[in-house]
Amino acid sequence: MSRYQSITRVEPGILETNKVLRNTYALLAMTLLFSAAAAGLSMTLNLPYPGFIVTIAVYFGLLFLTNKFSNSAWGILFVFALTGFLGMTLGPILNFYVHSIHNGEQLVMTALGGTGLIFVGLSAYALISRKDFSFMGGMLMAGILVAFLAGILTLFFPMPGLQIAVSAMFILLMSGMILFQTSEIIHGGETNYILATVTLYVSIFNLFTSLLQLLGILGGDD
CA distance 3 to 9: 10
User: What is the tens place of the pLDDT at every residue in 108-138?
Assistant: 999 999 999 999 999 999 999 999 998 998 9
> By residue range, what is the domain housing residue 65?
2-219
The whole-number pLDDT of residue 13 equals: 60
pLDDT above 60 for 12: no
pLDDT above 70 for 103: yes
The whole-number pLDDT of residue 4 equals: 41
Q: Which of 22-26, 65-69, 101-105, 140-144 has the lowest mean pLDDT?
A: 101-105
Q: How many domains does the chain have?
A: 1
Which class for 220: exposed (0-12), middle (13-18), buried (19 or more C-beta within 10 A)?
A: middle
pLDDT above 80 for 222: no
Torsion angles phi and psi, residue 72, rounded to 5: -140, 175
Task: Give pTM, 2 decimals.
Answer: 0.89
pLDDT above 80 for 213: yes
The mean predicted confidence, pLDDT, of the chain is 89
Chain-centroid distance, C-alpha 3: 41
CA distance 23 to 134: 21
pLDDT above 90 for 140: yes
- Residues 201, 178: contact at Cβ < 8 Å? no
What's the average model confidence in pLDDT over 48-56?
A: 92
Q: Which residue, 79, 129, 108, is CA-closest to 216?
A: 108
pLDDT above 60 for 221: no
The whole-number pLDDT of residue 87 equals: 96
Question: Would the CA dihedral through 173, 138, 160, 101 be positive or negative?
Answer: positive
